[in-house]
Structure 1
Amino acid sequence: MNARSRARVSSAPQISTIEDLSHEGRGVTHHDGKVVFIEDALPGERVEWLRTKRGPNFDEARLLKVLEPSPDRVTPKCVHFGVCGGCASQHLSSDRQIEFKQRQLTDALARIGKVSPPRILEPLQADAWNYRRRARLGARWVPKKQRVVVGFKERSTSYIADLQRCEILRPPVDAMIPALSALLTSLSIPNRIPQIEVSVADAAVALVIRVLEPLTAADMEHLHAFEKAHDVRIYLQPGGYETVAPLRSDLPPLTYALPQFDVTLQFLPTDFVQVNGPLNELMVDRVIQLLQLTAEDTVLDLFCGLGNFSLPLARRAKHVVGVEGEASLVARARDNAARNGLTNTEFFTANLAAEDLQTSGWAKRRYDKVLLDPPRAGALEALPVVAATRPNRIVYVSCHPGTLARDAGVLVNQLGYELTEAGVMDMFPHTAHVESVAVFERIQKKKK
């Protein structure tokens, strides 16, 4: 950026009234006929702001002062809010956060999918603090501080926020960040450790430390001492996920339970598990209620992972078929079913986003109910197969309202289903992330 461009960006402070929130949770206003996104500003507020970036379609700005605050503004619990990029909405009351997410969902369904649910489900919520059992923390050696900084990335920068505590991480990791910083600083390669993956199981805490160079014997002593002092399990990752290995090999596996279904699942510290454990329990219960299962139902669970939904489904249905793209997770799902004494399940490996699924044996069967739980990219490629199996009811769990809306439009406008209900589930409180669930029923053709 040249000097003239910098001068234009660093214009004089402006005063505006905030009209709305963007999908990322930023305040939206207009200035000189152009949209401006302002960090931390809330609808209805009159604020003073300074432009930080000009773009062809919109500008970005920094909040300088709230002149007339919204009644929905609250004091953030975290002292790092505004610097750390882990949360975006701590300054907005919980009720308004949920309303914002619900509107994101219904707006996307209408705008993208051209559909509207006749019934809005009550939002699903659990504790808003200390909920995060899975996280990837960045680590960076900072020469000026002569130590390794550990935390999430800062907002709009590549720097790591220098955290002392995290109010959304599950205990004991929420208060462990300074100790992790000290541990990494004590090692012989403090500038060659880019991240720590955190995984909090029901009875253990796993820390996967990425190391770009070999550790010394003294380093290993430090790591073993930290494990003992903080009652955690340390894993080292020198390469890809296949290289992850624990310091000790005599420990029991990581597990989490879904007690209402008498199910316990084992997982590895790098496996995908739902971030919010208490909300996950509520979500599994809601999904099974929405599927309206009977003891005679055969259910297809696409994107099944290690069995988070499949195993509880098997407690209620006659037979469950799970399909997942990652072979290691499929193996874990089979093992989990066996450990829980479930003999009415089958699991298959298939790339649900790319393969010609019509030729797969499992895809040629008839299913009474189908559960979809895809990643952010959605389930578009799998929808023709789903429709071909002619389920009476489809429940779609989504982590992105845009792709859910797109897929809902296909199911309703092309494949013979109607959207009957939808709602949000607050998997990530204090962020703009929208988790949701939608129900589709097959339209029965009238007999002549």
Structure 2
Amino acid sequence: MAMLGKRRPPRPASGHSGLAGTPGGKTRHAATGDTSPMVIERLAHDGRGVAHSANGKTVFVDKALPGEQVEVAIHLTRKRFDEAHIKSLLTTSELRVKPPCPHFGHCGGCDLQHLSVDAQRDHKREVVRDLFSRQGITLSEIGSIQGSDQGYRRRARLGVKVDSQGTTRLGFRAAHSHRLVDIERCPVLVDPLQRLLTPLRELLGTLEAPRQVGHIELLATATAQVVLVRQLKEHTGDAERWQAFAQQQGVALGTWLGRETPTLHWHGAAPALEESLTVTGQPPLSLSFAPGDFLQVNAPVNQQMVAQVIQWLAPKPGQKLLDLFAGIGNFSLPIAAAGAEVYAVEGNPAMVARIAINAKRNQLMVSGQQADLNSAASVKELLTVHGGSDALVLDPPRSGAEVICQALAHHPVPRVVYISCDPATLARDAAHLVHAGYRVKQVAVADMFLHTAHMETLMLFEYGD
């Protein structure tokens, strides 16, 4: 019982509304009453509109487009800028389109569906150009590798949550929030995964222990549709329901069981998970992978990226190529099939084994090893041993390949192809290469993540004059 005259302990900050504190010194406020019109000047790198208030303070406005006049409500303030959302759209940009998804604006998965596809591509090229300009590098032409704007995503992770009323929700997180948005359909998912959403929701409503389901991963390949359930604690009755669902829907079912160190159990035979890649003039390649291995979400665009890299490098028999962050062999094997001698390096020993298996099954000679590619000593040794390589392929994670690009100043390789999912770290690393004597020869932005502010960028560098 609460005591009179004693202050009630404050509730933990939720981050969703009210005066919740947020990381980084931010202060979150309820919507303000300030409705002074603002004109959106440009798009920020993350796709938000940029405006300035009457007192000159920068304001980032969700889902606002250049040229639009808007009245906004501030929902987050910081010392140097505010964050806001549109309260009233006074004028509309010709670039604005009707979002294809009914959940747009609530789901945090896509943030650019209100912008036309061509404008999205233009925006991403300008982001790359601006980031390089900040590093003192001027880019001229930036190419575009284009894909479909719907039905392109072949893997997804869906959250599962039981609310206070006992209703089980299935969907994606809201932007900058832990709140789960219930999803009925997702236009960017490939059709086989799209069709699973309703049956999955219906199944979750029948489970005896839905709170023991952490999340659900969906994966579609050319030969299989896979449902992976993160099961926190085993429940025999629910396991039988999942197996019946898998049989009815014709999907492969796996369960990650346990809280701390979950182990994967297949219900029935484990599916043959394979990635198919085609190299002009060669039989199709088949690359096996396992759940948890890195796999690009957009298969057609990935195929185009592989083809672009091969076109840039034009590998020939006898040429030597070093592939760092090689993954399952996404670039190593097609380049080897085109004739080059490939040496593949990965930080994860399981991936080194996977590349060896994939090389053998495709009758290709690809050598490799495990190495810490963030270690200056390891990278120096690699570049010293393989100093005679004709080309180098880099496909690092978002953190980039700074150690490698710094080392190339002392151990240059004639040509470098860099595939990046973060243009900021790409620009940083490119500055190291240019300072070391490399020249930018080709740049292309790929439609790997249409309708989102994320992008995939490919670059070709050549050393010397």
Q: TM-score range by the shorter chain?
A: over 0.9
Aligned to 2:368: 347
1:349 Cα shift? 0.9
Aligned to 1:95: 118
C-alpha distance in structure 2 between counterparts of 1:243 and 1:72, whole Å = 48
Aligned to 1:441: 462
Q: 1:114 to 1:7 in 2, by over 3 A?
A: closer
C-alpha distance in structure 1 between counterparts of 2:267 and 2:376, whole Å = 38
For residue 322 of structure 2, give the secondary structure of its aligned residue in structure 1: strand
Aligned to 1:311: 333
Aligned to 1:78: 101
Corresponding residue to 1:41 among 55, 64, 67: 64
Return the structure number with greater relative CO, CA threshold 8 A, min gap 6: 1
C-alpha distance in structure 1 between counterparts of 2:370 and 2:63, whole Å = 44
> Are residue 186 (structure 1) and residue 206 (structure 2) matched?
yes
1:385 Cα shift? 4.3
C-alpha distance in structure 2 between counterparts of 1:83 and 1:345, whole Å = 46
Corresponding residue to 1:198 among 218, 235, 238: 218
Q: 1:318 to 1:35 in 2, by over 3 A?
A: same
* RMSD, matched Cα: 2.0
C-alpha distance in structure 2 between counterparts of 1:226 and 1:332, whole Å = 31
- Point out where structure 2 has 5 or more consecutive residues left out of the alignment: 1-17, 21-26
Q: Equivalent residues in 2 for 1:39-188 (5 A)?
A: 39-111=62-134, 113-118=135-140, 120-144=141-165, 146-188=166-208
C-alpha distance in structure 2 between counterparts of 1:88 and 1:6, whole Å = 21
Q: 1:226 to 1:440 in 2, by over 3 A?
A: same
For residue 332 of structure 1, give the secondary structure of its aligned residue in structure 2: helix
1:437 Cα shift? 0.8
Aligned to 1:255: 274
For residue 182 of structure 2, give the secondary structure of its aligned residue in structure 1: coil
Whether contact under 8 Å (1:368, 1:390) holds in the other structure is no
1:381 Cα shift? 1.1
> Are residue 229 (structure 1) and residue 245 (structure 2) matched?
no
1:303-338 per-residue CA deviation (whole Å, 9 max, x = no partner) reads: 000001100010113310111111111111110110
Q: 1:443 to 1:7 in 2, by over 3 A?
A: closer
C-alpha distance in structure 1 between counterparts of 2:379 and 2:32, whole Å = 57
Q: Equivalent residues in 2 for 1:376-395 (5 A)?
A: 376-395=398-417
> Are residue 12 (structure 1) and residue 34 (structure 2) matched?
yes
C-alpha distance in structure 1 between counterparts of 2:29 and 2:342, whole Å = 62
C-alpha distance in structure 1 between counterparts of 2:287 and 2:384, whole Å = 26
Aligned residue pairs, count:
436
1:65 Cα shift? 2.4
1:417 Cα shift? 1.1
What is the one-letter code of the residue matched to 2:102?
V
Whether contact under 8 Å (2:38, 2:70) holds in the other structure is yes
1:226 Cα shift? 0.7
What is the one-letter code of the residue matched to 1:398?
S
1:362 Cα shift? 6.9
Aligned to 1:426: 447
What is the one-letter code of the residue matched to 2:378?
L
For residue 181 of structure 2, give the secondary structure of its aligned residue in structure 1: coil
Q: 1:354 to 1:51 in 2, by over 3 A?
A: same
C-alpha distance in structure 2 between counterparts of 1:396 and 1:7, whole Å = 42
- Point out where structure 1 has 5 or more consecutive residues left out of the alignment: none
Counting helix residues as a fraction of each chain, which structure ranks higher? 1
C-alpha distance in structure 1 between counterparts of 2:235 and 2:278, whole Å = 41
Corresponding residue to 1:220 among 233, 239, 252: 239
1:188 Cα shift? 2.7
1:143 Cα shift? 2.9
For residue 52 of structure 2, give the secondary structure of its aligned residue in structure 1: strand
TM-score where L is the length of structure 2: 0.89
What is the one-letter code of the residue matched to 2:313?
L
For residue 356 of structure 1, give the secondary structure of its aligned residue in structure 2: helix
Q: 1:332 to 1:96 in 2, by over 3 A?
A: same
1:66-124 per-residue CA deviation (whole Å, 9 max, x = no partner) reads: 2111001110110111100110011100110000000000111110x321234x24200
C-alpha distance in structure 2 between counterparts of 1:47 and 1:63, whole Å = 6
What is the one-letter code of the residue matched to 2:455?
V
C-alpha distance in structure 1 between counterparts of 2:454 and 2:29, whole Å = 35
C-alpha distance in structure 2 between counterparts of 1:363 and 1:179, whole Å = 55
